[in-house]
Copies of this chain bind each other. A is one copy, B any other.
Amino acid sequence: MALRADAVRNRAAILTAASEVFATHGPNATTEQVAQQAGVAVGTVFRHFPTKDDLLVAIMKESLARLAALTNESTLATFFDAVVDEAVRTRMVVIALGDSGLDIGDALQGLTDNVTQLLDQAKAAGEARPTVQVDEVMALLTAAAYAAQQASWTADLRQRTLAVILRGLE
Protein backbone atom coordinates (compact mmCIF):
# COMPACT_ATOMS: atom_id res chain seq x y z
CA MET A 1 0.00 0.00 0.00
CA ALA A 2 1.04 3.53 -0.51
CA LEU A 3 -0.27 5.97 2.03
CA ARG A 4 -2.49 5.58 5.04
CA ALA A 5 -5.94 7.11 4.88
CA ASP A 6 -5.25 9.77 7.50
CA ALA A 7 -2.00 10.65 5.80
CA VAL A 8 -3.80 11.33 2.55
CA ARG A 9 -6.38 13.43 4.32
CA ASN A 10 -3.81 15.46 6.20
CA ARG A 11 -1.62 16.03 3.19
CA ALA A 12 -4.53 17.55 1.35
CA ALA A 13 -5.55 19.63 4.35
CA ILE A 14 -2.01 20.94 4.68
CA LEU A 15 -1.81 21.98 1.05
CA THR A 16 -5.11 23.78 1.25
CA ALA A 17 -4.15 25.47 4.48
CA ALA A 18 -0.78 26.48 3.09
CA SER A 19 -2.41 28.12 0.09
CA GLU A 20 -4.67 30.20 2.27
CA VAL A 21 -2.07 31.12 4.85
CA PHE A 22 0.64 32.07 2.39
CA ALA A 23 -1.85 33.94 0.26
CA THR A 24 -2.92 35.97 3.26
CA HIS A 25 0.34 36.51 5.11
CA GLY A 26 2.94 36.07 2.40
CA PRO A 27 5.75 33.55 2.26
CA ASN A 28 7.03 34.56 5.68
CA ALA A 29 4.04 33.04 7.38
CA THR A 30 5.02 30.45 9.97
CA THR A 31 4.84 26.73 9.46
CA GLU A 32 3.00 26.75 12.76
CA GLN A 33 0.29 28.92 11.24
CA VAL A 34 -0.13 26.48 8.41
CA ALA A 35 -0.35 23.58 10.83
CA GLN A 36 -3.01 25.30 12.89
CA GLN A 37 -5.06 26.22 9.86
CA ALA A 38 -4.86 22.60 8.74
CA GLY A 39 -5.85 21.31 12.18
CA VAL A 40 -2.66 19.38 12.51
CA ALA A 41 0.55 19.47 14.54
CA VAL A 42 3.72 21.03 13.17
CA GLY A 43 5.44 17.70 13.11
CA THR A 44 2.87 16.44 10.65
CA VAL A 45 3.53 19.26 8.27
CA PHE A 46 7.21 18.46 8.37
CA ARG A 47 6.59 14.78 7.81
CA HIS A 48 4.86 15.58 4.56
CA PHE A 49 7.09 18.45 3.53
CA PRO A 50 10.53 18.08 5.11
CA THR A 51 11.25 21.73 4.49
CA LYS A 52 9.23 24.88 4.45
CA ASP A 53 10.56 25.47 0.97
CA ASP A 54 9.21 22.11 -0.12
CA LEU A 55 5.80 23.27 0.95
CA LEU A 56 6.16 26.51 -0.94
CA VAL A 57 7.32 24.69 -4.02
CA ALA A 58 4.35 22.34 -3.80
CA ILE A 59 1.74 25.07 -3.79
CA MET A 60 3.55 27.06 -6.43
CA LYS A 61 3.53 24.06 -8.69
CA GLU A 62 -0.18 23.63 -8.07
CA SER A 63 -0.65 27.22 -9.05
CA LEU A 64 1.40 26.92 -12.20
CA ALA A 65 -0.37 23.72 -13.17
CA ARG A 66 -3.70 25.46 -12.73
CA LEU A 67 -2.56 28.15 -15.14
CA ALA A 68 -1.11 25.70 -17.62
CA ALA A 69 -4.45 23.92 -17.69
CA LEU A 70 -6.16 27.20 -18.49
CA THR A 71 -4.24 27.85 -21.68
CA ASN A 72 -6.50 25.50 -23.62
CA GLU A 73 -9.56 27.64 -23.23
CA SER A 74 -7.85 31.01 -23.35
CA THR A 75 -6.75 33.67 -25.75
CA LEU A 76 -3.61 35.60 -25.01
CA ALA A 77 -5.72 38.42 -23.60
CA THR A 78 -7.83 36.32 -21.28
CA PHE A 79 -4.76 34.42 -20.20
CA PHE A 80 -3.05 37.59 -19.08
CA ASP A 81 -6.12 38.27 -17.04
CA ALA A 82 -6.07 34.82 -15.57
CA VAL A 83 -2.45 35.10 -14.55
CA VAL A 84 -3.07 38.38 -12.84
CA ASP A 85 -6.06 36.88 -11.07
CA GLU A 86 -4.04 33.97 -9.84
CA ALA A 87 -1.26 36.29 -8.75
CA VAL A 88 -3.61 38.42 -6.72
CA ARG A 89 -5.36 35.42 -5.21
CA THR A 90 -2.33 33.38 -4.28
CA ARG A 91 0.50 35.87 -4.08
CA MET A 92 2.72 32.96 -5.00
CA VAL A 93 2.81 32.77 -8.76
CA VAL A 94 4.78 35.91 -8.69
CA ILE A 95 7.56 34.29 -6.79
CA ALA A 96 7.09 31.25 -8.93
CA LEU A 97 7.39 33.04 -12.22
CA GLY A 98 10.15 35.06 -10.73
CA ASP A 99 13.51 34.15 -9.50
CA SER A 100 12.90 32.61 -6.12
CA GLY A 101 15.80 30.24 -5.81
CA LEU A 102 13.23 27.48 -5.44
CA ASP A 103 13.28 24.55 -7.77
CA ILE A 104 10.24 24.76 -9.99
CA GLY A 105 12.00 24.64 -13.29
CA ASP A 106 9.95 21.81 -14.73
CA ALA A 107 6.58 23.32 -13.88
CA LEU A 108 7.71 26.58 -15.41
CA GLN A 109 8.81 24.80 -18.52
CA GLY A 110 5.42 23.16 -18.81
CA LEU A 111 3.73 26.50 -18.59
CA THR A 112 6.07 27.99 -21.15
CA ASP A 113 5.23 25.23 -23.60
CA ASN A 114 1.54 25.98 -23.33
CA VAL A 115 2.09 29.69 -23.65
CA THR A 116 4.05 29.04 -26.83
CA GLN A 117 0.96 27.47 -28.35
CA LEU A 118 -1.17 30.32 -27.15
CA LEU A 119 1.21 32.77 -28.76
CA ASP A 120 1.13 30.91 -32.04
CA GLN A 121 -2.63 31.06 -32.08
CA ALA A 122 -2.52 34.76 -31.32
CA LYS A 123 -0.14 35.31 -34.19
CA ALA A 124 -2.43 33.41 -36.52
CA ALA A 125 -5.33 35.56 -35.35
CA GLY A 126 -3.37 38.72 -35.95
CA GLU A 127 -3.30 39.57 -32.26
CA ALA A 128 0.45 39.33 -31.96
CA ARG A 129 3.03 40.28 -34.49
CA PRO A 130 5.12 37.38 -35.79
CA THR A 131 8.35 38.70 -34.37
CA VAL A 132 7.24 38.33 -30.76
CA GLN A 133 8.99 35.52 -28.91
CA VAL A 134 7.81 33.47 -25.95
CA ASP A 135 10.38 34.74 -23.56
CA GLU A 136 9.07 38.26 -23.93
CA VAL A 137 5.59 37.03 -23.23
CA MET A 138 6.73 35.13 -20.15
CA ALA A 139 8.59 38.19 -18.99
CA LEU A 140 5.53 40.36 -19.45
CA LEU A 141 3.37 37.84 -17.62
CA THR A 142 5.76 37.89 -14.70
CA ALA A 143 5.83 41.64 -14.78
CA ALA A 144 2.07 41.99 -14.87
CA ALA A 145 1.64 39.46 -12.09
CA TYR A 146 4.03 41.31 -9.90
CA ALA A 147 2.70 44.76 -10.52
CA ALA A 148 -0.82 43.56 -9.87
CA GLN A 149 0.10 42.84 -6.27
CA GLN A 150 0.15 46.50 -5.35
CA ALA A 151 -2.54 47.26 -2.86
CA SER A 152 -3.45 50.28 -4.91
CA TRP A 153 -4.47 48.36 -7.98
CA THR A 154 -8.06 48.96 -8.89
CA ALA A 155 -9.89 46.91 -11.47
CA ASP A 156 -9.68 49.90 -13.73
CA LEU A 157 -5.94 50.38 -13.44
CA ARG A 158 -5.48 46.70 -14.06
CA GLN A 159 -7.56 46.78 -17.19
CA ARG A 160 -5.70 49.76 -18.57
CA THR A 161 -2.29 48.33 -17.77
CA LEU A 162 -2.98 45.01 -19.39
CA ALA A 163 -4.41 46.82 -22.38
CA VAL A 164 -1.11 48.62 -22.88
CA ILE A 165 0.80 45.36 -22.80
CA LEU A 166 -1.55 43.63 -25.18
CA ARG A 167 -1.47 46.52 -27.59
CA GLY A 168 2.28 46.35 -27.46
CA LEU A 169 2.24 42.76 -28.59
CA GLU A 170 0.19 43.48 -31.67
Q: What residues of chain A have their CB less than 8 Å away from a CB belonging to chain B?
A: 98-99, 132-133, 135-136, 139-140, 142-144, 146-147, 149-153, 157, 160-161, 163-169
Question: Taking chain A's interface residues, is the majority helix, strand, or loop, or is none over half, making it mixed?
Answer: helix
Among A133, A144, A152, A164, the most chain B Cβ lie within 10 Å of the Cβ of A164
Taking CB atoms, residues of chain B closer than 8 Å to A163 are 168
- What is the CB-to-nearest-CB distance from A146 to chain B, in angstroms, rounded to a whole number? 4
**A168: B residues at CB distance < 8 A:** 163-169
Contact of A157 among B135, B144, B147 (CB under 8 A): B135
Which residue of the partner chain, among B136, B140, B142, B150, contacts A139 with CB atoms under 8 Å?
A: B150
Residue of A146, A151, A163, A169 ringed by the most chain B CB atoms within 10 A: A146
Copies of this chain, tallied across the complex: 2
Assess whether B147 is in contact with A161, with CB atoms less than 8 Å apart. no
What is the minimal beta-carbon distance from A68 to any residue of chain B, in angstroms? 19
Question: Using Cβ atoms and an 8 Å threshold, which residues of chain B touch A152?
Answer: 99, 135
In the assembled complex, the CB of A161 is this many whole angstroms from the nearest CB of chain B, namely 5
Most buried by B among A135, A143, A151: A143
List the 3 shortest-distance A-B pairs measured between CB atoms, nearest first. Answer: A168-B168, A143-B143, A143-B147
| Shortest beta-carbon distance from A128 to chain B in Å | 10
Judge whether B149 and A161 touch: CB under 8 Å: no
